[in-house]
Structure formats: C-alpha cells, structure tokens
Amino acid sequence: MKILAIESSCDETCAAVVCDGRRVLSNIVASQVKTHALYGGVVPEIASRAHSEAISGVTIKALEAAGCLLSDIDAVAVTNTPGLIGALLVGVNFAKSLAYGIGKPLIPVHHIKGHIAANYAHFNGENGKNFLEPPFTALVVSGGHTSLINVHSYTDLSVIGATRDDAAGESFDKVARILGLPYPGGAKMDAAAKNGNKNAYFFPEAKVKNSPYDFSFSGLKTSAVNLIHNAEQKGEKININDIAASFTSAVVNSISSRIELFFSENKSASSNKLVLAGGVAANSHLRSALQNLCDKYSVDFFVPPLNLCGDNAVMIGCQGYYEYISKNRSDFFDLSLNAYATSEF
C-alpha cells in the first residue's frame, strides 16, 4: 500500500511516499531555515506563506522520486495536530483537496505519533537491523515536546511523563541564541559542547513533586541565561564551549535520570525497548547517554537516522499506514478534517 504523506506543522514543507508503513520510496523536505535565521526563530506567518508556496512543488518531487503517479497512491496522510495552526492548515487543506481530487482516503496523523513512527522506516533494507513493533516506551524530545510515552500498540499511546513548562529543544535554542550561535541553535550547541568542559559551570536540575517522570527545563534555561547576562554586565569573558557543554550535560542528565528511574521501577514488556524520537534525538550527547543507559539495563535502543529526527513526511506516512488499517481515516468526499494547534493522542 502506497501512502502519499504531507507534513507542514512548523517550518519544513515535506512530502514523502511510503509503502506499507515501512519502506521509504521518497523523502522531500523544503527547509525554511535560511529565512527564519534572519529573525533568530520561526515566524509563524512567514512559515505559513512559505508552505503555501512550496507544497505543490514538494509533492510533485516526492511522486517523481518514488517513480509514482497520483493514480498509484492508495491514500493521503497529513499532519493535522499539534503545531503552528497556520502552517498546519496549509498542509491539511492541500491534503484534503488532493484526496478529493484523486478519490482516495484521507488519514489524519498526530505529529508526535509520527515522530515515534520514524523508527519504523526502512530505506531499501537499511535501518532494518531491528524490526520495531509495539509495545515499547518512547521518549520524544523536540522543540515543543519532551514526553515519555507508553506505546501499547501502533495507534494506542499513553503519556507517562511530560514537560511542565519549556521543552528541551526550546531551551537549547534559547541558550544558543543568547550565546550568539547561529539559528538553528540545537545543532550548534551540540557541536560546541564537544569542545567544552561539562564541569565548568553548574546548572540546576528541577524535579516535579509527586510526578517523578515529568520534566522541567524553564529553571535550567533561566539559570543559563542569567549566568550569561551577569557575565556580560560585569565585562567577564565567557567560554561558549564550556557553557554549551555544561548546559548540554545538565539537560541530558535531567532526561536520563528519569529514564533510569523508569527502568529501575518497571519490568514490563514495553520497558524492554526504548525508542528515541524528535528533533533533539539528533543530539549526539543524548543519543550516547541513552545508549549507555540501555546497555546497562539490557534494554533494546532504537533511534531514527539523523535525517528523520527533525520534521519530515516519512514519519507521517509510516504512522498513516497504521492509522489506516485501524480505520482512522475518512472517505475522500468527507471534507470535515480540521487542524488543531494542540491535541492529546
């Protein structure tokens, strides 16, 4: 079964063709990084307009790269929640029109489910060393989300713990911006941390009372921002690499301490597999720390290739397949699908 997938939840316009929820036939991404770098972050209105300009061309390229015609497509999948509402609406309305035009079912996909499903993808047999199937535990770390999730089945998920304030990715981006690192800051922080001393500065780790699996990064972010501003006001020179290394270590420790607690307290089938997903899954320090933790507790560790950590349509096509077979779809003539900025599973 071939699914044409559309993703436009933030600042990447994406289209892909995925076969049977696993095999990737094409993966096209039109990035807006250079545009938003001028402002130091994503400007929602500009993102929406850029999606409108790019989405048709991206979709055509995805079909061409897959060697497919629209008549070869069995269904259209699209991210409809959560994300920037204007950006989502561009993708949803395009997908609705396309599904209607070719008379194929339309599949709504939750963005976070999609990130997790990136771990299902195979590129011509590559990335298929281990065939991931539920149940398992997923850790989604991105610019807007930091969540520990129980994946009971391909479509049935429940949250174990989530951030109470800022997400890890947003914290990385904010500190990078204060340090003067170019946008997007996450990758620049990762690189700088490799050349710094993680013990040079102390940053606190917040814990949420009576919610041991919940995360909190606002205090950590504020601590770093205050340190940098105070140094600037005193005319003191700061070591960017050392701050990046110390801050990265604090974020990674905050996450890995929750995961280790979960491993020590849970011995269910789902806790024997840990899946990392989301944009911050590309962070080399986090990947390494979680791999070491999984080795310690004899847990199988799954992480998507770097090109599927950020937003992409492959993950939407993978999840879309399982939503389709679970009958979470609508007929092409049902145009009621809407976009939502926030939504639970």
pLDDT at 171: 95
Could you tell me the end-to-end alpha-carbon distance of the chain, in angstroms, rounded to an integer?
Answer: 25
Predicted local distance difference test score (pLDDT) of residue 16: 98
Phi-psi region at 125: left, alpha or beta (left = phi > 0; alpha = psi -120 to 50)? left
* Structure token digits, residue 321: 């397949």
Amino acid residing at 19: C
Please state, in angstroms and rounded to a whole number, the distance separating the CA atoms of residues 287 and 305.
11
Reduced to 3 states, what is the DSSP secondary structure of residue 251?
A: helix
Rounded distance between C-alpha atoms, residue 293 and residue 197, angstroms: 22
pLDDT in tens, 266-325: 876 567 999 999 999 999 999 999 999 999 999 999 999 999 999 999 999 999 999 999
Q: Average pLDDT for residues 220-229, to the nearest whole number?
A: 95
DSSP letter string over 107-146? EEEEHHHHHHHGGG-BBTTBT-SS---SSEEEEEESSS-E
pLDDT of residue 124: 60
pLDDT of 251 over the 90 cut: yes
Dist. CA 69–CA 166, nearest whole Å? 43
pLDDT in tens, 143-168: 889 999 999 999 999 999 999 999 99
pLDDT single digits (tens) 59-117: 999 999 999 999 999 999 999 999 999 999 999 999 999 999 999 999 999 999 999 99
pLDDT the model gives residue 267: 75
CB atoms < 10 A from the CB of 57, how many? 13
Domains of the chain: 2-127+308-325 (3.30.420.40), 136-303 (3.30.420.40)
Mean pLDDT score across all residues of the chain: 94
Q: How confident is the model at residue 130 (pLDDT cuts 50, 70, 90)?
A: low
Looking at the chain, the whole-number percentage of residues with pLDDT higher than 90 is 88
Whether residue 127 is predicted with pLDDT greater than 50 in this model: the reply is no
3-state secondary structure of 70: helix
pLDDT of residue 281: 96
- How much is the pLDDT for 334? 86
Q: What is the pLDDT of residue 301?
A: 96
Q: Helix, strand, coil % (nearest 5) of the chain?
A: 45, 20, 35
pTM assigned to the model:
0.94
Least trusted range by pLDDT, from 39-48, 112-121, 123-132: 123-132
Specify the DSSP class assigned to residue 276: E
- Nearest 5°: the CA angle 131, 134, 140 is 95
Question: Taking a C-beta distance cutoff of 8 angstroms, is the pair 130, 302 a contact?
Answer: yes
Which two three-digit tokens encode residue 306? Answer: 């770097």
The CA–CA distances, whole Å, from 345 to 7, 96, 247 equal: 17, 21, 31
Per-residue tokens: 179: 């340090």
Element (H, E) at 4: strand 2-7
Q: pLDDT value at position 128?
A: 45
Sheet with strand 75-81: strands edge to edge: 23-31, 12-19, 2-7, 75-81, 106-110
